[in-house]
Amino acid sequence: MSASRRFPNDHFLNRELSLLAFNRRVLAQAADDRVPLLERLRFLCIVSSNLDEFFEIRVAGLKEQLKLDSHAAGADGMLPLDVFRRVTEQAHELIAEQYALLNDVILPSLAKEDIVFFRRSLWTAEQRAWIHEFFVNEVMPVLTPIGLDPSHPFPRVLNKSLNFAVELEGTDAFGRSSGAAIVQAPRALPRVIRLPKKLSGVDYGFVFLSSVLHEYVSELFSGMNVLGCYQFRVTRNSDLFVDDEEVKNLRIALQGELPQRHFGDAVRLEVADNCSEIMTDFLLQQFGLERSDLYRVPGIVNLVRLMSVPDQVDRPDLMYPPFQPGLPKVLSKRYDIFESIRKHDILMHHPFQSFSPVVQLLQQAADDPLVVAIKMTVYRTGAESVLMEHLLRAAEKGKEVTVVVELMARFDEEANLSIASRLEEVGAHVVYGVVGYKTHAKMLMVLRREDHGYRRYIHLGTGNYHPRTTRFYTDFGLLTSSPEIGEDVNEVFKQLTGLGKATALKHLWQAPFSLHARMLAAIRGEIEAAQAGKSARIIAKMNSLLEPEIIEALYEASTAGVTIDLIVRGVCSLRPGIKGLSENIRVRSVIGRFLEHHRIFYFHANGRQDIYLSSADWMERNFFRRIEISFPVLEPKLKRRVLKEGLKPYLADNSQAWEMNGNGEYRIKPTRRARICAQELLLADMAVGAINVA
């Protein structure tokens, strides 16, 4: 989009406020008593994890704009200061609701199930003795209390680490009396400690590390009087900066930048609600923060660490029922993956269907003497990925292995650096894409020498090559040996690894070259059909919708009479249902057991029913600053599957689908119809042995 092109401000909703609205929908899952109890606790933790990233990236960006006294308005017309004020107000409200839900609902409900978090005031003498022994043997040896005086300035506090500010009275062995100290809790220490059953009197009894430190912190300051001990946590700017114009070696530049992530500018201070005003002001001063950046919480300051609790509790009745992912029918018996792909294109729908065919493709490729080359993109895959092990083995066996590793995948940079090093050690070709453009496309190509020459076997996906997340992210993957798609994929790999002009692709739409223009053309095709009195329909499913030109094209389509359904999990800047602008547009967001992640774009196209799957959301970064692909589903049978599985159930969902209005507000509309839950329907239809949640 041209930087000078502007559309009316009232056509757009604010990105940051929309992101907070998404987290309200996630929090609603924690409040929903139809969700199993331990899963409700997990959703509560997910909100905290999401908010951490929100402050680390989005709020940090706002504060940078304020520091520069920026008056640059977004597409919605809001100035950075106005956005920051509204974000701060709503974030405080959201966090207050979160802790109220934890303290008043979740923890009491867990206690009724014999899962108890013991407060210090309720410890018995026997529990106290055990906890003290744990403190002396396990906790105290790894603590380093730092008294604050001229020779011990305020320590560097790691991003999101647990710390304690201690108010002291008296003098130490050297006659010092600074009155304050900082105790940093090493990350190696568990934040939740399970008590022996005979001491807790319940099936699962826990104490928080913060409670243990509060109780025995005085033992770290012999002979001094502890007046107060307050847990706190600081969130820092975690956006990495690598100058695209100055960088000579992206890998070296990134290695130099990563350690600073832990010590970026502070953007939020969380303190326990019992923290004294004097200590609160002192901490704010140390971190250069204002009162608006302060979040007082009635409980532990890092709820993310409670994510480990469901894994420590053997109560399957309080969790989602387990299921075994199914397989497409063409792969349901013993199969040779190459032969199966030659016969048919294969569509896989995760997590309802297994990711194992992709793993098997790489495994078989590594061992097959006819395979001569493997090429793959890696955005997020996990440090211990089985896919990487197969790539390593293939390289060790002398196959040409080329991996495009995206070093700038946020919060996965260190894991990807490690993967790149391991691959290079065994002779694989590792490239880092194109500086200034994140490689976000999901592509795997296996080149095999067969009777009639080389044949390419392709996997394209909407999600990452990460076997763990395929178990709870919804995504589509396509396996094909189509020569035309194979040639397109090969061209994209040539761009990523070599030099040369971009060439026209037969089937793939590619960012930053053709994807945006092709999407606009597809939308305009529906506009022309509607204006000619023909059927016109757009259905699009994605994570985020922000790009102004696409939004304006959708408005134009709506006024032309095109029926438009948008299924947008997270951020949406489009205003639906506004008379004369978007009255033919409906926006819904589905939040449930699995993270909705696939991107699906359906255009009626005069009856052709064009369906594209993609790695790209409708955001400026995806269209113009990333290397993305959108690929067609060509076989009619597979098109019908995408409609049946990826779109229609979500449009019919009346259980977990939130309808959005033109002001950016969401609600689940009450209905008298039978309950329809898309994710449960898909589990029942495709998974093995799945049990629906009532």
Sequence ranges of the binding site: 50, 380, 410, 473, 569, 597
What is the H or E stretch that residue 666 is in?
strand 666-667
Quote the distance between the C-alpha of residue 243 and its chain's center.
Answer: 25
95: closest CA among 56, 47, 58?
47
Residue 419: its H or E element: helix 413-425
Which residues are part of a known binding site for Mg(2+)? 380, 410
Instruction: Quote the crossing angle between the two packed helices 413-425 and 250-257, to the nearest 10°.
Output: 140
Q: Nearest CA to 301 among 207, 237, 230?
A: 230
CA–CA gap between residue 61 and residue 56 (Å, rounded): 8
Alpha carbon 628 to its chain centroid, in Å, reads 18
Which tokens belong to 587? 């926006």
**Cα(62)–Cα(370) distance, integer angstroms:** 54
φ, ψ of residue 226 to 5 degrees: the values are -85, 115
Rounded CA-CA distance 430/421 in Å is 9
Selected catalytic residue, list 440, 459, 466, 604: 440
3-class DSSP state of 353: strand
Active-site residue flag, 440: yes
Q: Could you write out the DSSP letters of every residue in 259-288?
A: GGGGGS-EEEEEEETT--HHHHHHHHHHHT
Tell me if the bond preceding 357 is cis, omega within 30° of 0.
Answer: no
**Could you give the CA distance from residue 384 to residue 380 in angstroms, rounded to a whole number?**
11
Strand partners, 347: 478
- Positions at the binding site for ATP: 50, 473, 569, 597
Query: Identity (one letter) of the amino acid at 335?
Result: Y
* Residue 593: closest CA among 321, 328, 381: 321
CB distance 651 to 565 below 8 Å:
yes
Query: Angle formed by the axes of helices 209-216 and 125-134, to 10°?
Result: 90
Looking at residue 435, its amino acid is V
My answer on whether omega of the bond before 351 falls inside 30° of 0, hence cis, is yes
Which string of DSSP letters, residue by residue, matches 567-601? EESS-B-B--S-TTTTTTEEEEEE-SSSEE--EEE
Q: Comparing C-alpha atoms, which of 264, 463, 493 is closest to residue 382?
A: 463
Is the Cα dihedral 242, 245, 246, 247 positive or negative? positive
User: Which residue type sits at 131?
Assistant: I
| Torsion (CA) 566, 567, 569, 572 in degrees, nearest 10 | 10
Residue 4 and residue 92: Cα distance in Å, rounded? 35
Whether 656 contacts 677, CB under 8 Å: yes
Alpha helices, DSSP H, located in 498-563: 515-531, 548-560
Q: What is the DSSP letter of 196?
A: P
Catalytic site positions: 440
